[in-house]
Structures are given as structure tokens and as C-alpha cells.
């Protein structure tokens, strides 16, 4: 059973986000800082208790994350490069006053939708969060099929 809208995700769940630009993945398979620029990390939705968010999904609420990712990207004329992901427990932390977490935020078109959230952030302290995300989030490419290492 999913959490209620706005509640933190279960620590054992996996948060994931589609990758739609091959420039967001380095040759060594890690993410580039470009994966978190532009509109990727956006100001929070109205009424939410965090400052910034990075949209994604919860693995526990998907049927086939690769097929669903391909469909999502295809509907937007974007390539499906793979997914970035991490266990919620690994994302949930508080460092230097910034608190990161994953909150369940279903949308009308996506009941698995969840945001990687950042509290006590502003445009000046997002740089270190972007750097940290590059190290914490893993990448799975569809070669021949996406596989998540959930350890």
C-alpha cells in the first residue's frame, strides 16, 4: 500500500528518474552535473514543506520501470537513455542544514510519482546538493535491459 500524498517514502523503496539525454551520463557510467541543471531541480509545488524537488517515481509502485520509462519518453519525443536511482534510505539525510528525502507525490497520470525533496535550500546552496547527487545516484542503462542494483 502506498504512503499518503506528501508522506515520506519507505526507506527500503527505490526512487528512480528517467534519463533523457546521453550527455547526462559520463563514460564511466556516473551522472554528470548537467543532469541536475535547468528545470531538473525545481522549486517546490505549492503547499509542500520542502524548498526544491527532483521528480521521479517509486519502484514499488511500478509494474515495469523500463517499459514505463520508454513510454514516458516516447510520448515526449525524448530518447530513453536509462534511469538514475537510489534506495530511499541512502537519499534520506541531513547535512550542513540541508535535509533531503523522498516524498510520495502522486499525479493524475502517474500513481508512482515521488519527489526527491530538499528542505532549507536556496539557489546558493544547491551546488553541493548537485555534486552529492552525482555520487549517490546510480545509473542503469537498457543494455540489453535495465537492471537495478538495490544494495
pLDDT digits (tens, 9 = 90+) for 57-101: 999 999 999 999 999 999 999 999 999 999 999 999 988 788 999
Task: Write out the three cell numbers for 151.
Answer: 544494495
Q: State the average pLDDT for the chain.
A: 93
Share of the chain above pLDDT 70, in %: 99
**Beta strand ranges found along 8-97 (DSSP E):** 14-19, 41-43, 52-58, 82-87, 93-95
Rounded CA-CA distance 142/32 in Å is: 18
Q: What is the pTM of this model?
A: 0.93
Q: How many CB atoms lie within 10 A of CB 141?
A: 16
pLDDT digits (tens, 9 = 90+) for 36-57: 988 899 988 778 999 999 999 9
Rounded CA-CA distance 66/141 in Å is: 9
Backbone angles phi, psi at 104, to 5 degrees: -75, 120
pLDDT band at 24 (very low <50, low <70, confident <90, very high): very high
Amino acid at each position: 500500500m502506498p504512503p499518503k500524498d506528501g508522506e515520506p517514502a519507505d526507506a527500503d523503496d527505490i526512487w528512480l528518474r528517467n534519463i533523457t539525454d546521453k550527455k547526462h551520463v559520463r563514460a564511466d557510467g556516473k551522472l554528470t552535473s548537467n543532469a541536475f541543471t535547468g528545470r531538473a531541480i525545481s522549486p517546490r509545488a505549492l503547499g509542500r514543506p520542502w524548498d526544491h524537488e527532483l521528480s521521479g517515481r517509486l519502484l514499488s509502485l511500478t509494474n515495469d520501470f523500463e517499459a514505463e520509462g520508454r513510454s514516458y519518453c516516447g510520448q515526449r519525443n525524448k530518447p530513453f537513455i536509462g534511469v538514475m536511482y537510489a534506495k530511499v534510505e541512502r537519499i534520506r539525510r541531513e547535512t550542513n542544514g540541508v535535509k533531503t528525502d523522498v516524498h510520495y507525490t502522486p499525479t493524475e497520470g502517474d500513481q508512482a510519482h515521488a519527489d526527491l525533496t530538499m528542505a532549507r535550500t536556496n539557489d546558493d546552496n544547491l551546488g553541493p546538493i548537485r555534486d552529492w547527487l552525482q555520487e549517490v545516484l546510480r545509473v542503469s542503462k537498457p543494455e540489453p535491459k535495465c537492471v537495478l542494483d538495490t544494495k
